[in-house]
Chains A and B, each alone.
Chain A
Amino acid sequence: MVRNKRHDKLFTGLVFGTAAYTLLMVGLVAFSVTKGSLDIFTEEGIQFITGSDWNAVEGRESFGAYPYIIGTLLSSAIALAIGVPISLAIAVFISEIAPPRIGTPLSFITELLAAVPSIIYGLWALFVFRFWVRDLIEKPLYDAFHGYLPFFAKTPFGLDIFTAGIVLAIMIIPIISSICREVMRVVPDSQREAAYSLGATRWETVRMAVFPYVKSGLVGASMLGLGRAIGETILVTMIIGNVVGPSAIPTSFFSQGQTLSSLVANEFNEASSELHLSALIALGAILFILTMGINIVARLLVKKKMKVSSGAKAQ
């Protein structure tokens, strides 16, 4: 019995220790990011966020992250604008429309899509998909609108913010749609049955009985997708065009751009000075704060929904 107790204590200590390790890791990430970017923030201050010069030549060093923040936000916004409606539609199809015979294999396929490494998305986007985008989407848009709408006014080339946004959308669709599906599953069937019994069509049931019930969960799912899109690195690096300095501020959807993460990936191994490295790590720091904030809000939204609904189910 005594031995049992000692075992228990030891084991409890062990699992508690590993749990503490998880928290320690978050601390380590925050610590490393802060330590690495300290140099540049003491050198440039707030200028680092608002400036748009990027000059690594010794003696004339000047770093500003503004164009890449804009590039990150714009490419992610395009990804969300395309990805969210499609993800929702897929979730609705799988969980509300398709019979399990079709729905189950389909959800397996979308999971498979989530398992493809982003480097392979990148390879495919660079050598295959960008030509589809250029010829099938960008050229027609350019031909139709370039006279009137400034954001389509640039001869499309295929390596630009728009392409990056579309490929990001493809990448986040499986993530968003599987969380949406999960959230929609907690809607009690009585909710649907009530709508059907009033004579609602399937779409009306989804729109008026399912969506409102899990609205915050769906928003949370989209935000998790946004977090992924903002942080995605290698895929974006391969197709966004990689320009540096003030010209990286996009003037149209078809501008070549740069995101926070792609600039880090591009220049990290060629960084010539301490300050340059520090500036690159500071881009990571901005990403860290951005995604941390988005994630925290998103998790709270999804979690709240799950909790409320499991309470409702128990009744």
Chain B
Amino acid sequence: MNSSNNYRDIVQETVTKKYKKRLFVNKLVTIFTVVCVIAAIVPLCSILLEVVKNGISAISFDFLTQPQGSIGSGSGGVAPAIQGTIIVVGLASLIAAPIGVLTGIYLSEFAKEGTFPYLVRFFNDVLTGLPSIVIGIVGYVLIVLTLGSFSVLAGALSLSIIMMPIVVRVTEETLKIVPHSLREAGYSLGLSKAKVTLRIVVPAAKNGILTGIVIAISRIAGETAPLIMTILGTSLFFTGITGPVDALPLRIWRLASQPYESAHAFGWGSALVLILMILALSLGLRYLVLKRSPYKGIA
């Protein structure tokens, strides 16, 4: 009697001990994950804080409308860079958005299986993973060397190659969510496949596709590396699509490597302008376009 009780106590004790240890490890891991989450958020807060704090004092009317003054003087502004970013990114989007959306339509509506769509999908993904500086080489070798000059065109081509696969991906994913019954309704009315796709499926997925395009535009607006090899960067305004032009990310990089305080302040200012432009784009999309869509909630 006594010894069996003793035995039970011992078992009980080891079990509780082990259980306590397991609970302890569980708690430890939970705490670790929370610490990691905080560790990831701190840089984001710090970046936003510094950009706003240092950037806001640099921004003025001249900063937004004037070309750069003499180096180190802290006069003038970054207007050519703002203009250049809008032109190069705009042109790249005009190339990449339609092609990307159509390719997405092809993958989702026309060829779900088979070797060719598989290859397209696969290499599209591979394209997403290529370093942007490698894609800059395309613009350099194909266009800069042919034209003999750094040019807007070369920059736009390179940025469009970065943008396209993102648009393809998002379009395909979004179109897949559109319920099949919508397509069947179209076919039952005797509509052609082209009509069903363009008039029914794509409008239903409009919100998702537009959001994808905006994400892709924000991504290329911040690219620097391919621009070094394609548009070069100047301190002058736009002169034509076969000439060099400036861009905000490129300007930030050049400003940051100058040894002057005033240049650094300009760099922060440009960073703030870049962030605000990207923010304005996605907020603009949200409030101007998405609200009015009749198909809200489908995709």
Contacts and interface: CB of A to CB of B under 8 A. Distances in A.
Interface string A76-99: 000000000110011011100100
B130 to A, nearest CB: 6
Given A7-B195, A32-B137, A298-B129, 12 more contacts: A15-B106, A15-B110, A19-B103, A22-B127, A29-B134, A117-B274, A119-B249, A119-B252, A202-B30, A233-B131, A265-B228, A288-B134
B33 interface: yes
Contacts of B193: 8, 11-12
A32 B138 contact: yes
Interface string A282-300: 0010011001101110110
A90 B141 contact: no
A241 interface: no
Interface string A234-247: 10011000000000
B122 A299 contact: yes
Nearest to B264: A127
Interface of B: 22-23, 25-26, 29-30, 32-37, 39-41, 43-44, 46-47, 50-51, 98-99, 102-103, 105-107, 109-111, 116-117, 119-120, 122-127, 129-135, 137-138, 140-142, 161, 164-165, 168, 191-195, 197-198, 215, 218-219, 221-225, 228-229, 232, 249, 252-253, 256-257, 264, 267-268, 271, 274-275, 278
Interface string A116-128: 1111111110111
A23 interface: yes
A314 interface: no
A296 B158 CA distance: 22
Given A174-B40, A291-B131, A292-B130, A261 B137 contact: no
Given A174-B40, A202-B30, A268-B228, A129 B46 contact: yes
Contacts of A86: 36, 39-40
Contacts of B191: 4
Secondary structure of the A side of the interface? helix
A21 interface: yes
A95 B261 CA distance: 45
A237 B120 CA distance: 33
Contacts of B106: 15-16, 18-19
Given A15-B106, A33-B134, A292-B130, A5 B50 contact: no
A313 interface: no
B27 to A, nearest CB: 9
Contacts of B51: 120, 123-124
Contact of B110 (A16, A204, A233): A16
Secondary structure of the B side of the interface? helix
A187 B111 CA distance: 28
B134 A120 contact: no
B194 A7 contact: yes
A16 B111 CA distance: 9
A278 B133 CA distance: 15
A168 interface: no
Contact of A295 (B119, B129, B253): B129
Given A22-B165, A117-B249, A233 B40 contact: no
Contacts of A233: 131-133, 224-225
Interface stretch (A48-56, A105-113, A135-143, A148-156): A105-113
Contacts of A115: 215, 218-219, 278
Top 10 A-B pairs, shortest CB-CB distance: A117-B222, A231-B131, A11-B194, A295-B129, A15-B106, A89-B36, A233-B225, A93-B33, A4-B192, A32-B141
B141 to A, nearest CB: 4
Interface residues of A, number: 85
Nearest to B233: A269
B32 A89 contact: yes
A25 interface: yes
A250 interface: no
Nearest to A34: B141
Nearest to A5: B192
A54 B135 CA distance: 24
A36 B194 contact: no
A113 B103 CA distance: 28
15 contacts: A12-B194, A14-B102, A19-B107, A25-B161, A28-B142, A29-B130, A89-B32, A123-B256, A128-B46, A227-B129, A233-B132, A268-B228, A281-B140, A296-B126, A299-B129
Given A90-B40, A261-B225, A296-B126, A201 B23 contact: yes
Given A26-B123, A97-B30, A234-B224, A201 B102 contact: no
Contacts of A4: 191-192, 194-195
Nearest to B198: A11
